[in-house]
Amino acid sequence: MNRDHFGSSFGVLVAMAGSAVGLGNLWRFPYLMGTNGGAAFIILYLVMVFVLCLPLLYCEFVVGRRTQTNLITAFSQYAPGSRWSIVGILGLLGAFFILSFYPVVGGWSIDYIVRAIGFEFRDMAAAPAAEFEQMFQQTMAFSPRSLIFHFVYIALTAFIVLAGIRDGIERYTKWMMPLLFLMVVVIAIRSILLPGAQAGLDFLFKPDFSQITGKTFLDALGQAFFSLSIGCGSILTYASYVKRSENIIKLSSMTALTDTLFAIIAGMAIMPAVFAYGLSPGEGPGLLYAVLPRIFAEMPMGSWIAILFFIILFIAAVTSSISLLEVLVSVVIEKLRWSRKKAVILMTLVCWVIGIFSVWSSEIFDFFNNFSSNVILPLGGLLLVIYVGWVADFRIFEDEITNAGRLHYNRFYLRWVRFVIRYLAPLIILTILLAGVL
Ligand code: PFF
């Protein structure tokens, strides 16, 4: 079968960064940082991303590009004869789980775009916090309105994936990602210029290590996996459409850098405003939807900033959910030999139906949200490093990241990567997972 491919290195980068940058950066990261003490959490998170998770990103990239096939087949091909396609199945489960709550939050972003365009926040200026909380409760409640927005979100995701890699995913992420960056920078500048913003910057950049607990480690690890899109095959699947001449280390590092930069800028857009208006950063998952609109209601030019912000949120979310849907779709296309259209429709329907349960119950929603990032993704990552580092011949990995010896890297860096993949990552992930679960 002739497989679709990305047209350029830039196309690969924006697609991968598009997968990484998402609700994880704008919704999850701020509320986790807010409940875990700010700067100290960020430092822990940075260590998790660059020490631990970047080599894992290489692993997913390598397995995908080497095998040029879907998640399930990739694991049986990369180490022939092993029974490790189970890692792929766990990945599929992870993609299903995330797609069971992610589009719900994506649906809220559409709901809030509609509210912002109708100047609803401006009309609520000076209203007490409880009213904003109530608005968010209303948005989340199981109602025709929330079901419609959930559906619209999933349908838009399906629309892009339907068009394929080059004509769909690459074509849309190419303009969405730069736009996203520009918009979030505008909001960060607006936020930092508010009187009283300094306290928010202190919260972001002055660490207080006494805030770190065992739970902080698990949250930081789970968030690093979630934010970089590793552990459930999104990067692997995109990498399977990447040409052999591309530079894996460069593209992975740029993806991780973009994602982290975006998370920090998102923090700078949100926290200074939260502090400037005397609100609490430790609000939890409602931070973005119950607290920010209150700020938009009072901020000069807030109505416009609100529209911009929720559009950003929506774009960031869509460029991530397409990467999850593509994981499922590519498996169905190649394993069942279905057309792309049929595969997209089937998988979208399945995710839509499971997602309805998350719209219906916040317990189910929380379960999918926390279980996928704090258990399935790290577990997927753990199996991935054992697979690449021990089950398969490690020389394949080395061959692949150097493009069969054509690219040269510092010897010590390559040794370090090998050490992380074979020893450090399995040890740390296992410890944190066990400590978190027990
Ligand atoms: N990285 C995305 C975000 O930060 O919102 C979420 C995500 C996408 C997680 C794809 C996992 C994945 F495979």
* Residue 129, domain CATH: 1.10.4160.10
d(CA 42, CA 250): 24
Task: Please tell me if the CB atom of residue 222 comes closer than 6 angstroms to any atom of ligand 1.
Answer: no
* 45 residue type, one letter: Y
Give the position, in ligand 1's atom list, of the atom nearest the Cα of 29.
4
Q: Ligand 1 mean position to 319 CA, how many Å?
A: 9
Asked if the structure places residue 414 within a domain, the reply is no
Task: Tell which residue, 230, 211, 214, has the closest CA to residue 52.
Answer: 230
CB atoms within 10 A of CB 142: 14
Task: Please tell me if the CB atom of residue 255 comes closer than 6 angstroms to any atom of ligand 1.
Answer: no
Tokens in use for 354?
A: 């499971």
d(CA 274, CA 278): 6
d(CA 227, CA 139): 25
Asked if the structure places residue 395 within a domain, the reply is no
Asked if the structure places residue 1 within a domain, the reply is no
Asked if the structure places residue 175 within a domain, the reply is yes
Q: Ligand 1 mean position to 200 CA, how many Å?
A: 26
Q: Ligand 1 mean position to 229 CA, how many Å?
A: 4
Instruction: Print pLDDT tens along the chain (438 aa).
Output: 568 899 899 999 999 999 999 999 998 999 899 888 899 999 999 999 999 999 999 999 999 999 999 999 999 999 988 888 888 999 999 999 999 999 999 999 999 999 999 998 888 887 887 888 899 999 999 999 999 999 999 999 999 999 888 888 888 888 888 888 888 898 899 889 989 999 999 999 999 888 888 888 888 998 999 999 999 999 999 999 999 999 999 999 999 999 999 999 999 999 998 898 888 888 888 888 887 888 888 878 888 989 988 998 999 999 999 999 999 999 999 999 999 999 999 999 999 999 999 999 999 999 999 889 889 999 999 999 999 999 999 999 999 999 999 999 999 999 999 999 999 999 999 998 888 766
> Would you call 2 exposed, middle or buried from its count of C-beta atoms within 10 A (0-12, 13-18, 19+)?
exposed
Residue closest via CA to ligand 1's atom 7 equals 229
Asked if the structure places residue 401 within a domain, the reply is no
Task: Please tell me if the CB atom of residue 318 comes closer than 6 angstroms to any atom of ligand 1.
Answer: no
Helices H, strands E: what count in the chain? Answer: 23, 0
Task: Please tell me if the CB atom of residue 358 comes closer than 6 angstroms to any atom of ligand 1.
Answer: no
Asked if the structure places residue 438 within a domain, the reply is no
Task: Please tell me if the CB atom of residue 328 comes closer than 6 angstroms to any atom of ligand 1.
Answer: no
Containing structural domain, residue 274: 9-381
C-alpha to C-alpha distances, 184 to 111, 179, 284, 394, nearest whole angstrom: 19, 9, 21, 40
CB-based contact 405:399 (threshold 8 Å): yes
**Total of domains in the chain:** 1
Task: Please tell me if the CB atom of residue 139 comes closer than 6 angstroms to any atom of ligand 1.
Answer: no
Asked if the structure places residue 415 within a domain, the reply is no
Asked if the structure places residue 420 within a domain, the reply is no
